Amino acid sequence: MWMLCSDDGFLYILDIYCGKDSRRTTPLGPYVVFTILSPVSSDKQHFVFFDKFFASHQLLCDLAAKISEPVVGYN
């Protein structure tokens, strides 16, 4: 289950993982992070938090290149 929530816990997006999608070409972690963040405008200041399941050097580089939000990986 993947979620995008506000800082006070309000749920914006809920996506239930239903197994591997053979059409997806990107790794699962970056795919989920960018899919969930797609409706977020980068006009405002946002913080992105995710755990070590999603964290990778490539994901952090891609996020830095595409959005201006600070990112926090969780171990």
**49's tokens:** 């938090």
- Read off the pLDDT of residues 45-62 as tens digits, 9 standing for 90 and up: 677 777 888 888 888 888
At residue 11, the pLDDT reads 92
For residue 39, tell me if it sits in a domain: yes
In a domain, 7, yes or no: no
Residue 10 located in a structural domain: no
User: Which of 6, 2, 26 shows the shortest CA–CA distance to 14?
Assistant: 2
Could you tell me the residue range of the domain that residue 56 belongs to?
24-75
Q: 1-56, pLDDT tens digit by residue?
A: 888 888 888 999 999 988 888 888 888 888 888 888 888 766 566 777 778 888 88
Report the number of distinct structural domains present in the chain. 1
Helices (H), the chain: 28-37, 57-66
- pTM, whole model, 2 decimals? 0.72
